Amino acid sequence: MAEHRVKRLPVVDADGTLVGIVSRADLLEVFLRSDDDLVSEIRREVVDRLFPLSRKAVKVTVTQGVATLTGEVRDEHLIPLAERTARAVEGVVDVRCRLRASAPD
């Protein structure tokens, strides 16, 4: 779109019927989220939901859309799910998952 200076494109269904218009701004919007906004969403939607008992031990940072999760969690089997869920947050371009299981009590 940028190369051909196209600002908007039609969106059609399988029959070719116009169902909407998409703009460059619409497509780029998810990448314009601030790192702080991404940290908040990852903490709320990933850490708080998956690790309620050890959420305070998990640190979330985001730099230029790259999220890093570090710390110790009780539920080791949830670590891969946490990485996948963080990766699915709109605006996140990569995830570095450095979570590890805490030592048993």
**Contacts with 101 (C-beta within 8 Å, 6 or more apart), sequence order:** 72, 73, 74, 76, 79
Question: Can you give the pTM of this predicted structure?
Answer: 0.72
Delimiting residues of CATH 3.30.1340.30 domain(s) in the chain: 33-101
Amino acid at 84: R
CATH number belonging to domain 33-101: 3.30.1340.30
**What confidence score (pLDDT) does residue 43 get?**
97
**Contacts with 102 (C-beta within 8 Å, 6 or more apart), sequence order:** 54, 57, 72, 73, 74
**What confidence score (pLDDT) does residue 28 get?**
74
**What confidence score (pLDDT) does residue 99 get?**
97
Spell out the per-residue pLDDT of the chain, length 105, in tens. 777 888 898 999 999 999 999 888 777 776 678 999 999 999 999 999 999 999 999 999 999 999 999 999 999 999 999 999 999 998 899 999 999 998 776
